[in-house]
Amino acid sequence: MALSHAILAALLERPLSGYDLAKQFDASIGFFWQATHQQIYLELAKLESKDFLRGSTAEQTSRRTRILYSVTDAGVDHLAQWAAAPSGSAIIKDDILVKCHALSVTSASGLRAQIAERRGHHQARLDTYRKALARLYPNPRDLAGTALGQYLSLRAGVRYETSWLDWADEACVILPAED
Amino acid sequence: MALSHAILAALLERPLSGYDLAKQFDASIGFFWQATHQQIYLELAKLESKDFLRGSTAEQTSRRTRILYSVTDAGVDHLAQWAAAPSGSAIIKDDILVKCHALSVTSASGLRAQIAERRGHHQARLDTYRKALARLYPNPRDLAGTALGQYLSLRAGVRYETSWLDWADEACVILPAED
DNA sequence: TGATCCATGTAACAGGTTACATGATTGT
DNA sequence: ACAATCATGTAACCTGTTACATGGATCA
């Protein structure tokens, strides 16, 4: 169970609604943890029932009422305990690499096209991370605490996306464009 | 459902037992798809019931009988169809990056220690991939078909592990060794 | 007035983990 | 004799996905 931890971590900075979280999980946090909105709402309910979160209905002008969740002291404790415990290894699941492995039953040009298509997503991600870094942390040497951690995770994102792009380029040189 | 595809892809080259697969999933294939032995045995049974695999009990000298699975024609078709369909995006879940995000509630030195520990695993993986590349594909220019695909997925592994190591080094320079 | 975004959920199902269970063989 | 490795599985549980459902607000 670690989506709950990702949610708690995301809410440390400031209270957010389930909808906000879902969007965040499509952006910055989404690099190292994915979740759909359904999952998020479910997990929010669980976390609130454990008193790790508190939800407050913040009425806003005319729009439907959003529920803003913030982390309780118990939630902070819980997260801190988890963070101190040893980490498992990273999980990666990538269709395209399985397809590489099965190249004998597919067309190489088809695989090449899929890689090229995905390359676009990774490029977009990289741009997002780079912009966020430039905007939020123009001066990395002065960072401490929360900012430092988020800077580091963005750097990891940049490195990952860059290596993916490099690999895609390597693959597209090797794989034929037409069969 | 894509563990099934990873299993089919792994069995394309040569028939393997569930036990063999579990070991492979700890090594080369494990880079882009993880699975425990329980999951694998379950999936093998399902795939056999769908006639995508055929299991043959290959008696071997004295040892307990292993069941060797090989892909049927229907299985190859199924895999080829999946490989031709568009790919979803890669899934990454990494505890350590969530912990980075939650640095405000943890000790930076503790996080640093966790990163250093995990760095070892990634280093070991990288060595494995490098050795496999040197042994199996000393001459990448001549590759085609199956070999080419496996070469490419190993290259992706090398790039990923390298970028992780670089990031870990960056993080260890920034994070204090003691609080 | 119809499309799109905001915002929150439920239900059914598929995928994956952990704990438990068994028993033979090989090496020390 | 004991531990480690080979080899296969079951059962309970947790996690995650897909499809469905609702309804207001904004914009063309």
- Determine whether the interchain pair B8/A102 forms a contact, defined as Cβ–Cβ distance below 8 Å: yes
- Window B:98-117, CB contacts with A under 8 Å: 98-108, 110-111, 114, 117
Task: For A120-143, write each residue's pLDDT tens digit.
Answer: 999 999 998 999 999 989 888 887
Is the minimum CB–CB distance between A150 and chain B shorter than 8 Å? yes
Contact A104, B153 (CB under 8 A): no
Give the tens place of pLDDT for each residue, A77-130: 999 999 999 988 899 999 999 999 999 999 999 999 999 999 999 999 999 899
What does A117-164 look like in DSSP terms, one character per residue? HHHHHHHHHHHHHHHHHHHH-S-GGG--HHHHHHHHHHHHHHHHHHHH
Q: Is B21 in the A-facing interface, judged by CB distances under 8 Å? A: no
Cβ of A49 near strand D (under 7 Å)? The reply is no
Residue type for A148, please?
Answer: L
Tokens of residue B40, six digits: 């694998």
* Alpha carbon distances (Å) from B28 to B111, B120, B133: 28, 17, 11
Q: Cα-Cα-Cα-Cα dihedral of A93, A98, A99, A102, to 10°? A: -170
Q: By the CB < 8 Å criterion, does B97 face chain A?
A: yes
**How far is CA B116 from each of CA A33, A147, B167, B169, rounded to the nearest angstrom?**
21, 21, 11, 8
pLDDT tens digits for range B11-63: 999 999 999 999 988 777 888 899 999 999 999 999 999 999 999 886 655 56
Nearest CA to CA, how far is B162 from chain A (Å)? 9
- B166 touches B122 (CB < 8 A): no
- In tens, the pLDDT along B62-116 reads 566 799 999 999 999 999 999 999 988 899 999 999 999 999 999 999 999 999 9
Cα separation values, A28 from A73, A113, A130, B27, Å:
25, 27, 11, 30
